Structure 1
Amino acid sequence: MRGETESTRQVISVWVRDPRIQKNDFWHAYIDYEICLHTDSVCFTKKISSVRRRYSEFVWLRQKLQANSMLMVQLPELPPKNPFFSLNNAQQITERMKGLQKFLEQILQSPLLLSDSCLHLFLQSQLSVSNIEACVAGRTTYSVAQAVQHSGLRRFHSDEDLQHVSMSCDSDSDSLECRNPEHKIKGLAISKAKRTASLDLTGTSPEEMLSCSSGST
């Protein structure tokens, strides 16, 4: 039986939040969502990140992960596509957002999926899905690690940096701290930890850790 200690416990916390309507033109619009990630897992070279993705990109991600895993993992389902989905229906948007978060929470529990570079670029880079595919295939001038590291957020230098976060921030605040996404993400992490909704990767074997580590470089 493996012992469970604070030094071996690794946490990945993910949130899907802040739905926003984006307009391509006068006639076409869609909703995208902010994906916030906070982790101390060795599977991720970047410990705090924030990107925005739309539903169709989640569909792409699921298809890609299923193909790359060679059917060795049964992926969770996404919230179903609703032909009557309305950008003006707050309940539908909220239900979809919760479904997308549940999907990410479940796939982040799989060591095999955590080794997939497509997942890392989806969660921690600003690349479009076509550029993600090109990057993973080596058809870009930048590597997967470079795409992640240059996606807009720096790492915190120490734990002390994390202790100065204001937990009173929300998406509508105009304060300087609240405009900093790192502060908002850490605030979410503290709140989520209190609700014990983090994903615990306790007990991952050294072989699985090595696989994770190689997938994020």
Structure 2
Amino acid sequence: MMNSMLDSLSKTEFISICVQDPRLIKDDLWHTHVDYEICLHTNSMCFRKKSSCVRRRYSEFVWLRHSLEQNALIIELPKLPPWNPFFSARNMEQVSQRMKGLQEFLEIVLQVPLLLSDSRLHLFLQSDLSITRIERCALGKTRYTVAEAIQRSSCGYISRLEYKTSCDSDCESSSSSGLGLSVDTSLPPPL
């Protein structure tokens, strides 16, 4: 009896998603944004990698929702946390609320079987590709497949492939700050 319960429990599919570790990025002297780490752990056959972590910003979530909405017209997609014109990347309460809303959005999306078939969702969650490259890859307009992009993104293989044809880089350097946010220090601090 106990063994059959453990067997059925171990065969149950799960998808665990966590949005965490907000990081403050300096775009230029006057502008900053926050990106978040998305960690996915699963035993689901839908996913190529069983464990992955990528970084995405709010505007990329907006793109993802729009893309999924176009692909699944009959499904009511969950809402993202609302865009706030007064959002401050340095206000930890606002950052925390947004992070929680982004996680809830992904948790609901990952429960919809139709959405799990969208390659853009998989590339968003499990590759380091920019949104432009995700679109190109999903349309078959890259030198690599969706599966290759997912499998090899964390080791830099795709970046090396793309570097041959483009100087555009998706990589960002970061260092830790004492504010609970990591800060990209590749640009000088604002005056």
Q: Give the TM-score category using the shorter length.
A: 0.7 to 0.9
Secondary structure of the 1:31 match is: strand
In 2: Cα distance, 1:47 partner to 1:33 partner: 20
Residues 183-214 of structure 1: CA distance to partner in whole angstroms, max 9, x if unpaired? xxxxxxxxxxxxxxxxxxxxxxxxxxxxxxxx
Secondary structure of the 2:144 match is: coil
The corresponding residue for 1:34 is 37
Q: Does 1:57 align with 2:57?
A: no
Which 4+ stretches in 1 moved above 3 angstroms? none
Normalising by structure 1, report the TM-score. 0.67
Q: Does 1:48 align with 2:51?
A: yes
Secondary structure of the 1:92 match is: helix
Residues 126-146 of structure 1: CA distance to partner in whole angstroms, max 9, x if unpaired? 001110000011110000000
The corresponding residue for 2:79 is 77
The structure 1 residue matched to 2:88, chosen from 78, 83, 86, is 86
The corresponding residue for 2:98 is 96
In 2: Cα distance, 1:6 partner to 1:16 partner: 26
In 2: Cα distance, 1:48 partner to 1:136 partner: 21
Shift of 1:7: 4.8
Structure 2: runs of 5+ lacking an equivalent = 156-175, 177-191
Shift of 1:87: 1.3
In 1: Cα distance, 2:114 partner to 2:12 partner: 18
Normalising by structure 2, report the TM-score. 0.76
Residues 63-116 of structure 1: CA distance to partner in whole angstroms, max 9, x if unpaired? 0001011x1211000000011101121110000000000000000001100010
Please list, as runs of the form range in 1=range in 2, the aligned pairs for 1:164-175 lying within 5 A after superposition: none
In 2: Cα distance, 1:39 partner to 1:85 partner: 33
Secondary structure of the 1:76 match is: coil
Shift of 1:151: 1.5
Of structures 1 and 2, the one scoring higher in RCO (CA 8 A, sep 6+) is: 1
The corresponding residue for 2:115 is 113
